[in-house]
Amino acid sequence: MNLILLYPNEIERERAVLCDERARHIRKVLKAGPGKVLRVGLLNGPFGSGTVESVESGSVVLSCAFENELPPVPRVDLLLAMPRPKVLKRLWAQLAALGVGKIILLRAEKVERFYFDSHVIEPDFYTKLLIEGLQQARCTHLPEVLIRPLFKPFMEDAFDGLFGQHRKLLADPSGKKRLGDLELTEPPRVLLAIGPEGGWTSYELEILQSHGFELFGMGSRILRMDTATIGILGVLAEKMTSI
């Protein structure tokens, strides 16, 4: 935990009383006593500092001061064919840590319908994991999550309104270009689409490309969806910082 992330409703008169895992981390891992200054952030808000006022067996009180400027919002959004629930459970924190603004979970043809019945897409479950990733990466912006179990209606009715101004990148083994070959010159935002373990169907590839997606591949190796997602997001983050 490289950042103590605080909720706006926890701040009262510039003080926050923590009684959960964050308090345990401050006591047991950071071993912070009164007077110690810690890195804090306000969820979807600025960074700041938190000075430890008191440490009890079950709570920590912080006196907080926040910066005036907001940190930049991540400029990469992710359109992800719904993974197997146990895979998505592992991915949530990593997606937040790598810096994603929006996460759209979409049902592709090769995605089982019952995946969308899983508890891993319930807000109370995934929000905790997203915050875990934010605290690891020192980020305050909580990704927005959209669940869209119908591919065709989403692409026809909602997609352009949400992502019409994005630079759209489509990962698929059939792509001849590599991510490194694509020029990213001052894009407002980038939307990355990654398919399921079995890949996008030819129909899905056609629909996605008709909405402006540029196809690229990652070489001859066929990667698991979660491996490809993390690898591509890492490369994109590096490319975006140089713009």
Q: What percent of the chain has pLDDT over 70?
A: 98
Quote the mean pLDDT of the chain: 92
Is-contact 79 193, C-beta < 8 A?
yes
pLDDT tens column, 212-240: 999 998 777 777 889 999 999 988 887 77
DSSP sequence for 112-177: -GGGGGSGGGSHHHHHHHHHHHHHHHT---PPEEEEE--HHHIIIIIHHHHHTTSEEEEE-TT--S
Residue span(s) of the chain under CATH 3.40.1280.10 come to 76-241
Given a cut of 90, whether residue 203 has pLDDT beyond it is yes
The reported pLDDT for the residue numbered 181 is 75
Given a cut of 80, whether residue 64 has pLDDT beyond it is yes
Given a cut of 80, whether residue 184 has pLDDT beyond it is no
CATH fold group of domain 4-66: Ribosomal Protein L25; Chain P (2.40.240)
pLDDT tens column, 121-154: 999 999 999 999 999 999 999 999 999 999 999 9
pLDDT tens column, 41-51: 999 999 999 99
Residue span(s) of the chain under CATH 2.40.240.20 come to 4-66
Given a cut of 70, whether residue 112 has pLDDT beyond it is yes
Q: Which CATH superfamily is domain 76-241 in?
A: SPOUT methyltransferase, trefoil knot domain (3.40.1280.10)
- Binned at pLDDT 50, 70 and 90, residue 188 comes out as confident
Given a cut of 90, whether residue 186 has pLDDT beyond it is no
